[in-house]
Copies of this chain bind each other. A is one copy, B any other.
Amino acid sequence: MSESSLSVRRARARPEERRGRGGDKRERILDAAVRVLAKKGFHSTRVSEVAKAAGVADGTIYLYFKSKDELLVSLFEDRVERLLAFLEADLPRAGSASDKLRRIIELQLGLLEGERDLAEVLTVILRQSTKLMKKYAAPKFNAYLDSIARVVSDGQATGELRGDVSPHLVARAMFGALDGIAMTWALGKADRGGLSRASGQLAQIVLRGLAPLDAR
């Protein structure tokens, strides 16, 4: 778990580097937005509060994001992109479908371990704007679900996973289970290490539930 957290942190540095000199300020604004949004919710947050928390002038934010809506969508896309980029780099190295599903579980929860504010923004605040969610978040979200479903159908093709369940159903249920764990963790008392334990137990249940029927 600590290895994957470190790796995620390393992967997170990449987008900034690509963006050159402006990246640091953009990243600072996004990090400040996470904190303010978690505290105030989407509709009560003012762009000026994000600017203050980031230590930049109000106008600076509009150099990077056209509106509050765009800030929220960028935050979501940035975080899901990191997750997707990391899965792409990491998954081919994991051998079996089971190993890959275990990594996905560790990563979706590992990304948030120690980041309660981000967990709240991703699981709760994002849904405060149905319109945003339907229009902009859906493509990234679907790409993430597709990558989980692909691991499942590959595992079914080799006979490693049971073939009688829909890969997309598994992806939606797995995402939901992880999201539910993260949400209750974000809204409740977020004990350190709680998400690591949860990811281990969830992996055991999911992998056993997906084992081929003749392995019984």
Contact = CB atoms under 8 A, between A and B. Distances in A.
A165 interface: yes
A67 interface: no
A34 interface: no
For this chain, the copies found in one complex come to: 2
A41 B174 CA distance: 26
Given A173-B181, A175-B180, A204 B124 contact: no
Contact of A131 (B41, B133, B173, B198): B41
Contacts of A169: 181, 197-198, 201-202
A128 B125 CA distance: 7
A208 interface: yes
Nearest to A178: B176
Interface residues of A, number: 48
Interface string A154-187: 0000000000111001101111111111011001
Interface of A: 41-43, 120, 123-125, 127-131, 133-134, 138, 145, 164-166, 169-170, 172-181, 183-184, 187, 197-198, 201-202, 204-211, 215-216
12 contacts: A123-B127, A125-B127, A127-B127, A138-B187, A164-B204, A172-B181, A173-B181, A173-B198, A173-B202, A176-B183, A179-B180, A207-B209
Top 5 A-B residue pairs of the complex, sorted by shortest distance between their CB atoms: A176-B180, A209-B209, A205-B209, A173-B177, A127-B127
